[in-house]
Chains A and B, each alone.
Chain A
């Protein structure tokens, strides 16, 4: 039983990682209806840029600001070069364009900073917290807990941003109805740029935490793909959904790997989230928190 809890908690906390990426997807999808396949590549780009800047001897805080600046530029460029010219195309074409964008961003990141694997130290160790270990015999990683804390802060900050700032309100209006928002004078393109910049910021936070945990490397982009089943579970338009979905995917994937994987040769976490999401889709296509959509004839 104790082992079960250890796996469960480890899974939940690693699920937070997926939530980070899913969060970026949700922001962009809500504001512009674009399913941004490149969110994972943006995480990779952010982490690599940060580490690359850090390696030039710049202090931590300045590297953070510069990397954020790079993400803003990337976001604005995406809006200008990809989204604006494609504004009247069907969503699926935009989706394919973001697949192209994924390749472009990955190539760009490595062209700028090289392809070698880098470590990233945020000063928090990936080791069990002593007092929890003493009290319950369950190992809970200090680092994972830190990541969960960051996620909580980030989600709260985003919620406040959406709820109480002028930009936030405009964003929600745009998410609700593009045409209506335009007609009351909300500048759509400005909003999109802001949302891509915010998604870039979320990607940076995700990149730092992931990079510190697993090293900054290309494989990150594959792990980031698991944010897709997270979205299906949580619903494309729901911030809480992204968090809950991430926790469900993270925990079930670890439990499945430990308890089922052992019998079939392991490695089932490569596909388990997708099959889980697939099964879920058949029961509830709109996700846990998504809005139900009725087709009118």
Chain B
């Protein structure tokens, strides 16, 4: 990999347990994420991977455990506060705003940075107008980066699946996050689309230094691009380390990858 340097631990999860009623989704999971790294979470269906992301950005509140982000231990936090602190994410099932254009969808990604109140916007002079233009310029950078200039004004509902995934990444990037959570960014894509998506993820990591936590099923991709991998199974952590370490971990092989792999 290029000149990017992996830094200190910025997110530390200690003994996280999450239950829904009587169902245990996560049991006593601990791991950390270092600045600028690409950290993968893998595991079979129902292993608790998405729940893990939901814990990180405050959609779910674990009953037990300690989360430290940028050195600060965090109490119960709501998702919009996570966004304010620089955590962005995409979803397993695309969660774009179907009634809006690509441009508007990505513009919403900058909402935490806009200051003009609704009255200023109603009059649309001064700050509101300047802001709208400044953020439009930023959003156009994201659009250029993801090579989706041609569909700017298209309603997202009309786009093919692969492009929708890209737009969703764009919306997350527009927030200029310090940490990006990607929930199966390549699910359902063909080889070419996967290669594009891989390239975007690596570029984001490389050019902007964004820390990335990603869930992915495609083992080839995971082993290729991630620095460290966490393996979950039935809500428990069964492996953690570099791709090579995980590949050779007995428990992981028997529980997940299968002996013949």
Residues in chain A within 8 A of chain B (CB atoms): 294, 297
Closest 3 CB pairs of A and B: A297-B59, A297-B54, A297-B91
Cβ of B50 within 8 Å of any chain A Cβ, yes or no, is: yes
The B10-27 residues at the A interface (CB cut-off 8 A) are 20
**Interface residue count on the B side (C-beta < 8 Å):** 5
Q: Which residues of B contact A297 (CB under 8 A)?
A: 50, 54, 59, 91
Residues in chain B within 8 A of chain A (CB atoms): 20, 50, 54, 59, 91
Q: List the A residue with the shortest CB-CB distance to B54.
A: A297
The reply to whether B50 and A294 contact each other, CB–CB distance below 8 Å, is no
| Smallest beta-carbon distance A294→chain B, Å | 7
CA distance A297 to B91 in the complex (A): 8
CA distance A297 to B50 in the complex (A): 8
The reply to whether B20 and A294 contact each other, CB–CB distance below 8 Å, is yes
Q: List the B residue with the shortest CB-CB distance to A292.
A: B21
| Smallest beta-carbon distance A43→chain B, Å | 36
Q: Which residues of A contact B20 (CB under 8 A)?
A: 294
CA distance A294 to B91 in the complex (A): 18
Q: Which residues of A contact B50 (CB under 8 A)?
A: 297
> What are 5 A-B contacts with C-beta separation under 8 Å?
A294-B20, A297-B50, A297-B54, A297-B59, A297-B91
| Smallest beta-carbon distance A88→chain B, Å | 13
| Smallest beta-carbon distance B88→chain A, Å | 15
| Smallest beta-carbon distance B55→chain A, Å | 11
Q: Which residues of A contact B54 (CB under 8 A)?
A: 297
Q: Which residues of B contact A294 (CB under 8 A)?
A: 20
Q: Which residues of A contact B91 (CB under 8 A)?
A: 297
Q: List the A residue with the shortest CB-CB distance to B79.
A: A297
CA distance A294 to B59 in the complex (A): 13
Q: List the B residue with the shortest CB-CB distance to A294.
A: B20
| Smallest beta-carbon distance A179→chain B, Å | 17
| Smallest beta-carbon distance B246→chain A, Å | 26
CA distance A230 to B59 in the complex (A): 33
| Smallest beta-carbon distance A286→chain B, Å | 14
CA distance A31 to B50 in the complex (A): 32
Q: Which residues of A contact B59 (CB under 8 A)?
A: 297
| Smallest beta-carbon distance B26→chain A, Å | 14
CA distance A33 to B43 in the complex (A): 36
Q: List the A residue with the shortest CB-CB distance to B60.
A: A297
| Smallest beta-carbon distance A93→chain B, Å | 13
CA distance A294 to B54 in the complex (A): 15
CA distance A297 to B183 in the complex (A): 11
CA distance A183 to B54 in the complex (A): 33
CA distance A297 to B90 in the complex (A): 11
| Smallest beta-carbon distance A158→chain B, Å | 31
CA distance A294 to B25 in the complex (A): 15
CA distance A294 to B23 in the complex (A): 13
| Smallest beta-carbon distance B46→chain A, Å | 12
CA distance A104 to B54 in the complex (A): 47
CA distance A297 to B54 in the complex (A): 8
CA distance A297 to B93 in the complex (A): 8
CA distance A294 to B50 in the complex (A): 16
CA distance A71 to B64 in the complex (A): 57
CA distance A139 to B259 in the complex (A): 80
CA distance A294 to B20 in the complex (A): 10
| Smallest beta-carbon distance A295→chain B, Å | 10
Q: List the A residue with the shortest CB-CB distance to B89.
A: A297
| Smallest beta-carbon distance A91→chain B, Å | 16
